[in-house]
Structure 1
Amino acid sequence: MSSTKPLLQVSNLGKSFGGVKAVDGIHFNLAAGELLALIGPNGAGKTTTFNMVNGQLPADQGSIRLGGEELVGRKPRDIWRLGVGRTFQIAETFASLTVVENVQMALLSHDRQLFSMWRRAADYRRDDALNLLDQVGMKSQADRPCSVLAYGDVKRVELAIAMANAPKLLLMDEPTAGMAPKERNELMALTKQLVVSRGMAVLFTEHSMDVVFAYADRMIVLARGRLIAEGKPLDIRDHPKVQEVYFGTGKTFEKEAA
């Protein structure tokens, strides 16, 4: 991890729903070129944290700074244009459009051209869209409709779409959900490669511990909205509070079977 000033700085972040504190005053930093895994049991506050970082939920308290820019109070579209991309647990693409058209739509949106009806979307920055698809290994399928793709390939297309705004920070919510072991390792290896080549940062949630330990540079662990541990994967593996709170059922950090 770089010793320079963190790209993302989260301080005293909190969010309540009624009387329940979904996120309770958490702090963490994330550097450019780093993959940070955010893990915890169901209800720990992971998705709520994601939704505050990209503006889908307003924070009740705290600060989220990206390269010195305060994100709290900004709309999701404005945060996206500042360089925050996101992928979702269930891949979101337009099934009726081709692979390349999906990426072109993202480029149109980024360039504020979505409603310029005189410009045909099929012609818009096609070379740029193809370059993004090449980076995720999907250029050869550019003209196929998304509806016929295997799920692992749809996730790759979603990653290309997320790269359309040249993100400084990429949020990945359960990126390998529903994927076979080989597919999820290929996707995360690709993500790691993009992080290194582009110098961007990735914050991701993940239930597959084999993926976390193979690809995360650091981990932060939430339980009931609070940050209970932070460190390198091997340190987290043996952390007594993590073992007690996150794995109270007796589950351990053993590598998952392929």
Structure 2
Amino acid sequence: MSLLKVNNLGKSFGGVKAVDGISFELKAGELLALIGPNGAGKSTTFNMVNGQLRADQGSIVFDGQELVGRKPRAIWRMGVGRTFQIAETFASLTVVENVQMALLSHDGRLFSMWRRASDHKRDEALALLEQVGMRAQADRPCSELAYGDVKRVELAIAMANSPKLLLMDEPTAGMAPKERNALMALTKQLVIDRGMAVLFTEHSMDVVFAYADRMIVLARGRLIAQGKPLEIRDHPKVQEVYFGSGKTFEKIAEKAAALHVGAAA
């Protein structure tokens, strides 16, 4: 049974159809990559699922409930987490305090000067940091962290509402190859351990081919292909959109296989 069902989704800006009647589904325990060249409609689709944009047509059903018309915060409370292309943390707070703030928000409690976040669910926050490999740095200010570690903290924050669905917008943007591999291997393990679903956009095609269970491909607002990585790799329309004629994903797929070897080592 699908956790997320998107049907005939559409969004226009003026006379331009940014997303034109796309449909796809996502199951629990699955990583689904949303890819396409610049201007394909990826960000618009992503932001409609998250509630930042309202669809002009179609439906987005999550766990049996319609998301169209709901605000991002309401969608978050329903069990949809999100990370952003540029990691968003409170630089002046410690690592553990950042996660505690997310737990406060999930519980509907307000932070105040006379009730410190450090008094709230520290053990639960530390457990989340343990899952992303940041427990040892819990009391460091986020301002002192390397960028790859900030991304891990953001992932812990996104897990604070125990999401059934995690939306990841360009999760490896700005990261070195080794950091990209480590973050996506961690995400894959969380999907397995928690049985949640992940929808992610990504420009690093080696990451996509290495970690996605399935892929959906957009071009000019329309869905042109969907399937497993090997199916997408050999899809002539996808190759044409990305490369024109005469080139394929073969070398990228080989690099993706090498990433898996490195993650398993």
For the criterion TM > 0.5, the same-fold answer is yes
Instruction: Identify the residue that residue 43 of structure 2 maps to in structure 1.
Output: 47
Deviations 1:150-203 (A, max 9, x none): 000000000000000000000001100111111100000000000000000000
Hey, what does 1:153 align to over in structure 2?
A: 149
Residue equivalent to 1:67:
63
Q: Which residue of 2 aligns with 1:185?
A: 181
Q: In structure 1, how many angstroms separate the alpha carbons of the residues matched to 2:121 and 2:247?
A: 49
Give the equivalent residue in structure 2 for 1:38.
Answer: 34
C-alpha change, 1:95 and 1:251, in structure 2 (3 Å) is: farther
Amino acid corresponding to residue 183 of structure 2 in structure 1: L
Partner of 1:154: helix, strand, or coil? helix
User: How much does 1:86 deviate?
Assistant: 0.5
Gaps of 5+ in 2: 260-265
- Larger helix share, 1 or 2: 2
Deviation at 1:209, TM superposition (A): 1.1
Measure how far apart 1:122 and its partner are: 1.0
Which residue type is aligned with residue 229 of structure 1? A
CA deviation map 1:216-243 (0-9, x unaligned): 0000000011000000000100101101
* 1:118 to partner: Cα distance: 4.8
Partner in structure 1 of residue 262 of structure 2: none
Write the mapping of 1:33-182 to structure 2, written as runs, cut at 5 A.
Answer: 33-115=29-111, 118-182=114-178
Cα distance in 1 for partners of 2:157, 2:90 equals: 11
The AA in structure 2 aligned to 1:243 is: Q
Residue 73 of structure 1 aligns to a residue whose secondary structure is coil
User: Are residues 117 and 97 of structure 1, via their aligned partners in 2, closer, same or farther at CA, if it must alter by over 3 Å?
Assistant: closer
Helix, strand or coil: the match of 1:95? Answer: coil
Quote the RMSD (CA, aligned, Å). Answer: 1.4
> Is this contact kept in 1: 2:9–2:21, CA < 8 A?
yes
Partner in structure 2 of residue 237 of structure 1: 233
Take 1:59 and 1:119, find their aligned partners in 2: how far apart are those partners?
40
Q: Is the Cα contact below 8 Å between 1:218 and 1:230 reproduced in 2?
A: yes
Are 2:218 and 1:216 equivalent residues in the alignment?
A: no
Matched position secondary structure for 1:7:
strand
What is the CA–CA distance in structure 1 between the aligned matches of 2:222 and 2:188, rounded to whole Å? 27
8 Å CA contact 1:63, 1:72 repeated in 2: yes
Matched-pair contact (CA < 8 Å) for 1:16–1:23: yes
The residue number in structure 2 matching 1:23 is 19
Shift of 1:114: 1.9
CA contact under 8 A between 2:234 and 2:248: conserved in structure 1?
no
- 1:249 positional shift: 7.3
Aligned residues: 254
Q: Does 1:196 align with 2:186?
A: no
Whether contact under 8 Å (1:105, 1:114) holds in the other structure is: no
Task: For residues 43-68 of structure 1, give each alpha carbon's deviation from its aligned partner in whole angstroms, at most 9, with x where no partner exists.
Answer: 11111111100100011010000111
Q: Secondary structure at the match of 2:215?
A: strand
Shift of 1:119: 2.9
Q: CA deviation at 1:116?
A: 5.7
Match of 1:10 among 6, 11, 25: 6
Amino acid at match of 1:111: D
Conserved in 1, the CA contact under 8 Å of 2:31 and 2:188?
Answer: yes
